[in-house]
Structure 1
Amino acid sequence: MNIKHSEITIDPENPFENCKLDRKKYSQVLTGLINSYSEGFVLAINNKWGTGKTTFIKMWKQDLINNGYKTVYFNAWENDFENNPLVAIMGELKILTKKSADPEFKSILKKASILSKHLVPIVAQSIVDRYIDTKEIKDAIVDLSKGASDLFENDVNEYSAKKKGIKEFRTGLSHFIANNNDGKPLIFIIDELDRCRPNYAVSILEQIKHFFSIPDIIFVLSIDKEQLGNAICGVYGSDKIDSNEYLRRFIDIEYSIPEPENNVFHKYLYSYFGFDDFLEKNSRKQYRELASDKRSFLEISNILFSNNSITLRQQEKIFSHSRLAMRSFGDNMYLVPEIFLFLIYTKVINENYYNKIKSKTLSIPELQEEFYKIIKNKINEDTQRLLMWLEAYLVLFYTNYIHQDYRRNKIFERDATLNKNKLLVHSIINKSADDEFLSVFENIDNSRNSGNLDISHFTNRIDLTESIIN
């Protein structure tokens, strides 16, 4: 049994073979874009964190290689220990250098060193200003750092000379790429830009714009634009800066990978984590009340993971934790998949609500109001009945929990005059469906012995405080 979702294996011969989201077609769109505008541009692939961008990017990178493109993959987050992104970017380009082209690349590096002038004393000054109070010591340290940077400053001391150095760097780099890439543009992929230090992210953007705006090199930025925008505001010290307008200075084309079709990914996860090993066990299915648990689990999954309301990474986390927690249930124990999966879902996306349930701090109306906020965009004609069952389980098990025993008399009572049950709690899913809601409670009471369970039956196992059995 898998306890976590491993990184997908990328077959060099068929990069998208193991893609479960049918995303090869989007790579073909992007490759077509590169073929159409090969003179050089900046492409941003903008999707939320946790939506599978990195996996897609790596698959596409291999596909580009298979189609004759030279590519560089640079993880900005893993490399933001380097203060000057120019050093890291040139270091990645050097990997592609043929031995015969080494002198040409060294010439470009010399030009790059000119662009780094004053960086060392500036960094040193910022450090001593923060940590050292004595002016004489400050000046001494800065003087030493200036001495160390003299190798960069010998050739250029004036502004006009630096502008010339930028032009020469661009020209040299453009010739180098054109001479070493068989007539195709170099694809330089920068991933995790939104996760690295804000000032480092901004510095990368600035250097791409000023130093690398040349023909035959295409930068692909894999970003969460909203998070990157927050980083930009942080660097410039104002939340009033228009980060979208700022990013337009650097990004020529923006693309978002379409969301996968509903229910595709969670069905794959159901198989990957081996839920059938438990839910379909013969020793479990022999109990009539447990035999339909697989169907119930998949039905509630279809609802909870519809509308693309959570990321792929969150889905992985929910299914991984569900399978682990499921191991503490015996073959003859009630799982009640609707409430079991909903509570884990809630723990991941709204832990505050989950903790309030555990701490018994909610009234029944408050419990229902918070529940409604989570599932309101999932209610439709097809889902209403199952969601009412979920609501009923939640209300009943929470009522049992706060009263520490089976208390159906808090849910409905017998009306002796009318000789039928009278509902005391009304559905928030459909406030005009009292008869249907009452019928759900009566079904639980009459046909299933699970009605005496309380929330702790699930939360203790979800929180892994019960022993592993299976």
Structure 2
Amino acid sequence: MESNTSHWKNDLLQRKQASIFLQNIIDTRNKNSLDKNAICMAIDGDWGTGKSFFIDKWSETLREDGRCVIFFDAWKNDLSDDPLIGFISQINSGLKDWIRKIKGEETVPDKIKSRATQIFTNAAHAIIPLGKEFIKHNAMKYISNEGTQIFANISSNKNADDSNIFELKSEHIEKYFDAALKTHEMQQASIETLTRDLEYIAEGLSFIDIKPPIYIFIDELDRCRPTYAIKLLESIKHIFNAKGICFILATNINQLSQSIKAVYGGSFDGRAYLKRFIDYEYKLNYPDNFSFCAHLFSKSFLSNHPRLFSGITGSEYQDKPSDVLADIANIFQLDLRSINQIFGQVEAAIASISELEEIHCLYIFALAAIMHKNPKIIDELCMGSFKRIPDLDTMISGNGREFIESFRTNQISRITTETTTIKDLIVFYQYISTDLEQSDINSILSEDSRYRRQILQRVYNSKSAHKLIKSYPALLRMAGSLESN
């Protein structure tokens, strides 16, 4: 399989090769004539691993390759009590054009054409509800209204008077159960018919030069109500289990397992339950922080901000703002969700600053990380002027990435080197954010450290620049009161 590169141009988490690998597995499995069932594959990943992006780009690539693809967002359809209504509707929309093409192709056998056109009638019969409301409705054909209510009370575990129960004549009960049994048998027959209809459609695709299977992508399953997710999974297993169909589920397996336990009880093995439905599980690995931060910037207005200064620039290092965020995440040991949270807070803070003003990324991201770790410190920075950040050493791991600076010493004419770290720069930013005496400024400007000189010159080049950098803690504190979902 060759994957279209254009769909993956923003594949900052490097998922393209995984889609090629998985599709080869599916195509090989589908060719196996002995396998009579649908294929069900789960794309498993925690928050931030890019599940939705992955299946979105994979499905786009399949469509462009001419494959039959249906996409169902389970979370958006969670409003319905019955997931099959929305699911059948989406399959109807997705297959309509393909069925039309199959009907119009002369080489397609008449039986396949006929079965393809009957699929949605059979689908409706296959999802006839057999719950209490259905029973209550059909019981009315055979027993009195009063008896129907008694029967409904019994089925819902309500106490009923024994004398009333005997008013239900045995012949009426027999007729009632006979009707329920016939309806159940009809439903089972319709399910088997629907399964065969789907297989005929998948077979019909080969007559119009479309390579099976039919891909049905289901996203956001783990975000749904547990009862909704369970019913949808059981429908996939029992109603749509047809050869030539491949389900791709994007979910968090552990989270979905916990949801299932919430329905069936704490001792229920939700993980084992899911294995009944899923043939393959593919675990999306965590992206490295540099890839993840680049992904965040690619979706943000900050990617086009004209005046973002990383704080780490020079002939050897031309770090992007996203790299600075990754450096901060590494030194403060932030997980992906925490990185996303502090990025959102920095976005909110910067949104209130004029684009004419320069943003010092290293300092503002460091302050956001500090606020995430210990909000009280930001409160202290807002209330007073601190030349050092309180408890910085307890919040960070090591000194962060090192930058080697080369320069001539003042004493003798030779080249020497000095190491500057991320921590050094954070400490320096905090120091110069205070009101320095001119003698302090002159002392820094006489240093050989290119980074410190450059940062100082940018901060003190105007009163507005220095005033702005002093306002970062207050802006971030306000942004921290804003929650984004």
1:26 aligned residue: 18
Structure 1 residue 205: Cα displacement? 1.2
Change (3 A) 1:393 1:17: closer
1:55 aligned residue: 53
1:246-280 deviation line (CA, Å, top 9, x unaligned): 22121111113344455245346557624761136
Query: Paired residue for 2:229, among 191, 195, 201?
Result: 201
Q: Percent identity?
A: 22
Structure 1 residue 114: Cα displacement? 4.5
Contact preservation (8 Å) 1:45, 1:220: yes
Unaligned runs of 5+ residues in structure 2 are: 104-112, 138-144, 154-177, 405-418, 437-448, 461-465, 480-485
Classify the secondary structure of the residue corresponding to 1:219: strand
Change (3 A) 1:366 1:228: farther
Query: Paired residue for 1:212, among 225, 240, 250?
Result: 240
Structure 1 residue 211: Cα displacement? 1.9
CA distance in 2, matches of 1:463, 1:324: 10
Matching residue's letter, 1:113: H
Aligned pairs for 1:96-107 (under 5 A) are 96-97=95-96, 98-99=99-100, 100=103, 101=113, 104-106=116-118
Contact preservation (8 Å) 1:193, 1:221: yes
Classify the secondary structure of the residue corresponding to 2:42: strand
TM-score by length of 2: 0.62
Aligned pairs for 1:254-333 (under 5 A) are 254-267=281-294, 273-274=302-303, 277-279=306-308, 300-306=324-330, 310-311=335-336, 318-319=342-343, 321-326=345-350
Contact preservation (8 Å) 2:329, 2:369: no
1:199-246 deviation line (CA, Å, top 9, x unaligned): 1011111111222222111100001222212211222232x4332222
Structure 1 residue 87: Cα displacement? 2.5
Matching residue's letter, 1:358: D
CA distance in 1, matches of 2:472, 2:148: 62
Asked if 1:35 is matched to 2:60, the reply is: no
Contact preservation (8 Å) 1:296, 1:338: no
Asked if 1:224 is matched to 2:252, the reply is: yes
Q: Cα RMSD over matched residues?
A: 5.2
Contact preservation (8 Å) 1:44, 1:220: yes
Structure 1 residue 164: Cα displacement? 4.4
1:436 aligned residue: none
1:235 aligned residue: 263
Asked if 1:94 is matched to 2:92, the reply is: yes
Contact preservation (8 Å) 1:69, 1:181: no
CA distance in 1, matches of 2:398, 2:152: 60
Classify the secondary structure of the residue corresponding to 2:71: strand
Asked if 1:253 is matched to 2:280, the reply is: yes
1:459 aligned residue: 473
Matching residue's letter, 1:176: I
Structure 1 residue 45: Cα displacement? 0.6
1:188 aligned residue: 216
CA distance in 2, matches of 1:378, 1:160: 70
Classify the secondary structure of the residue corresponding to 1:215: coil
CA distance in 2, matches of 1:380, 1:13: 33
Asked if 1:368 is matched to 2:366, the reply is: no
1:139 aligned residue: 149
CA distance in 1, matches of 2:191, 2:303: 57
2:182 aligned residue: 157
Structure 1 residue 184: Cα displacement? 1.1
Change (3 A) 1:15 1:450: closer
Contact preservation (8 Å) 1:297, 1:341: no
Classify the secondary structure of the residue corresponding to 1:213: coil
Unaligned runs of 5+ residues in structure 1 are: 1-10, 126-134, 144-152, 407-439, 466-470
In the comparison of the two structures, how many residue pairs are matched? 385
Query: Paired residue for 1:386, among 401, 421, 424?
Result: 421
Structure 1 residue 51: Cα displacement? 2.8
Contact preservation (8 Å) 1:72, 1:92: yes
CA distance in 2, matches of 1:462, 1:123: 59
Matching residue's letter, 1:386: T
Contact preservation (8 Å) 2:127, 2:187: yes
Contact preservation (8 Å) 2:42, 2:278: yes
